[in-house]
Amino acid sequence: MIKLFSRYMSVGILNTAIHWAVFALLMHEGNNQSLSNFSAFCVAVTFSFFVNAKWTFNSEATAIRYVLYVFFMGSVAALTGYLADVVGLPPVLTLCLFSGISLVAGFVYSKFFVFRN
């Protein structure tokens, strides 16, 4: 389980870099946090899904698995961004919060639902 989580976390580091870069670009362009966070997630999740399917979980990357993963994690991204907008959280804290939540929730969801044997 530790090896599996380590692989997932390694992919998560790259995924986070992609997410943060897209989020920063969209915020710079004047978009709000919920749109920026959700959009950045959509870009990064595609990378994360395919790499995790093959390298982390040694599973087939099917369309239904992709939809399940994107829907769940996209909901987490949108909710995090929405709540950040409501409470006026600074964007960098939104990114940190979402990164932590998505690492733990994403691993559990992936291991026990999306890529379960």
Measured CA to CA in angstroms, residue 3 lies from 7, 17, 57, 60 at distances of 6, 22, 11, 19
What are the domain boundaries of the chain?
2-114
Coil, strand or helix at 60 = coil
pLDDT of 19 higher than 90: no
Residue 84 has a pLDDT of: 92
| Exposure string for 71-99, b = 16+ CB within 10 A, e = fewer | ebbeebbbebbeebeeeebebeebbebbb
The CB-side HSE value for 51 (13 A sphere, CA atoms) comes to: 14
Instruction: Specify the residue for token string 């087939």.
Output: 60
Summarize pLDDT for 20-37 with one digit per residue, the tens.
Answer: 899 899 999 999 877 887
> 96 Cβ partners below 8 Å, 6+ apart?
none
Summarize pLDDT for 54-87 with one digit per residue, the tens.
Answer: 999 999 999 999 999 999 988 888 898 889 999 9
